[in-house]
Copies of this chain bind each other. A is one copy, B any other.
Amino acid sequence: MRIVVDAMGSDTHPGPDVAGAVMAAREFGEEIILVGDEAQIQVELKRHDASDLPIHIHHASQVIEMEDKPGEASRNKQDSSMHVGLRLVKENQADAFVSAGNTGGILAVATLHTLRRIRGIKRPALGVIFPIKERPMLIDHGANADCKPEYLLQFGLMGSQYVERIRKIDSPRVALLSNGEEEGKGNILIKEAIPLLADSGLNYVGNIEPKEFVRGGADVAVTDGFTGNLVLKTAESVASYMSDTIRQELTRGIFTSIGGLLARPAFIRVRKQLDPNEVGGAPLLGVNGIVIVCHGRSNAYAIKQAVGQARSAVQHDIVGAIRQGLENSLAVPANSEL
């Protein structure tokens, strides 16, 4: 298997990206293709003991930066590391693509310029594995700010296929993320999506509130990309705010400071459990290839984890699973019970 790692992705590229690729090559033994500025990658690679690892470099002369406007950059920087890397996947010279770069850029290059949508998929979506114990998926978490009910149906289908294959859960519980579980709750989008999900053949378990989602009440929570993005970012922000507040309060007295020191292993375990870096990245589902999108702030470990995720998605043929799931769902006539 060959996995492309975008060396020019993360906020402080190519350091974490290359270091993550090295860790991944060592841990998984798969071939890694580092795409980006060859000279810069060489420099980084020399800092690691990587000469015996199956790592190759594929030069790309341009970089889509975080500040770039996705639409423009995806049209104008045809030799960006994203274009070059995703073309390798499209042309079957690689099996998956991992990047911590500009999310909008990855979406545009993958969807409009290289891999393109799976036939029948209206909108590819980002599915994020929530960093809580039960590891549920939230989909879409940012690819589509404005959605139609049919998109949500397909997000549910794609999320369900992913979770079923990767986490080996039989008929995963799919829910709509909403402001209440009772009938009549939700905005218009949610209300219109309910009958589609209920009729879909998926294991639709109803509407779910954040409280139940955080406690593992569904394996896949479906939402539009605007709400999903705010929910994910709120969760991250509150977790980090709480950590900081606890740290501050612990250092306000001698006894609490000693207590904090003694309790340190517990805090480390909590941090590890809730660390977004642990889950790696977000799969972009609905395009003709495996794409894992990492946070711009990813460290080497997060990149390595994302390569592991990509590898697992290839092994379980997630693209084939989505194609198959879509065919099966189209075989069920819509509103078959009406």
Please pick, from B209, B224, B266, the residue contacting A249 in the complex, using a CB distance under 8 A: B266
Collect the chain B residues with CB atoms within 8 Å of residue A250's CB: 263, 266
Taking the complex as formed, is A113 at the interface, i.e. its CB lies under 8 A from any CB of chain B? no
> CB distance B269 to A263 under 8 Å?
no
What distance in Å separates the Cβ of A189 from its nearest Cβ neighbour in chain B? 8
Please pick, from B230, B259, B260, B274, the residue contacting A230 in the complex, using a CB distance under 8 A: B230
Beyond A237-B211, A239-B242, whether A249 also contacts B262 by CB under 8 A is no
Taking the complex as formed, is A12 at the interface, i.e. its CB lies under 8 A from any CB of chain B? no
Collect the chain B residues with CB atoms within 8 Å of residue A260's CB: 259, 262-263, 266
What distance in Å separates the Cβ of A261 from its nearest Cβ neighbour in chain B? 7
> CB distance A237 to B214 under 8 Å?
yes
Q: How many residues of A contact B (CB 8 A)?
A: 60
Taking the complex as formed, is A309 at the interface, i.e. its CB lies under 8 A from any CB of chain B? no
What distance in Å separates the Cβ of A184 from its nearest Cβ neighbour in chain B? 7
A158 to B269 Cα, complex, angstroms: 44
Beyond A69-B184, A267-B246, whether A177 also contacts B258 by CB under 8 A is no
What distance in Å separates the Cβ of A44 from its nearest Cβ neighbour in chain B? 29
Collect the chain B residues with CB atoms within 8 Å of residue A316's CB: none
Number of copies: 2
Beyond A231-B231, A236-B211, A239-B238, whether A264 also contacts B259 by CB under 8 A is yes
Most B CB contacts (10 A, CB to CB) among A213, A230, A274 go to A230
> CB distance B245 to A273 under 8 Å?
yes
Please pick, from B177, B245, B267, the residue contacting A270 in the complex, using a CB distance under 8 A: B245
Contact with B along A253-285 (1 / 0, CB 8 A): 101101111111111011001100000000000
> CB distance A266 to B259 under 8 Å?
yes
A224 to B267 Cα, complex, angstroms: 36
What distance in Å separates the Cβ of A255 from its nearest Cβ neighbour in chain B? 5
- 10 pairs from A and B in contact (CB 8 Å cutoff): A142-B179, A179-B225, A211-B240, A214-B241, A231-B234, A238-B239, A245-B274, A246-B267, A246-B270, A256-B265
Q: Given contacts A209-B237, A259-B263, could you give 4 more A-B pairs where the C-beta distance is less than 8 Å?
A: A146-B187, A211-B233, A231-B234, A256-B264
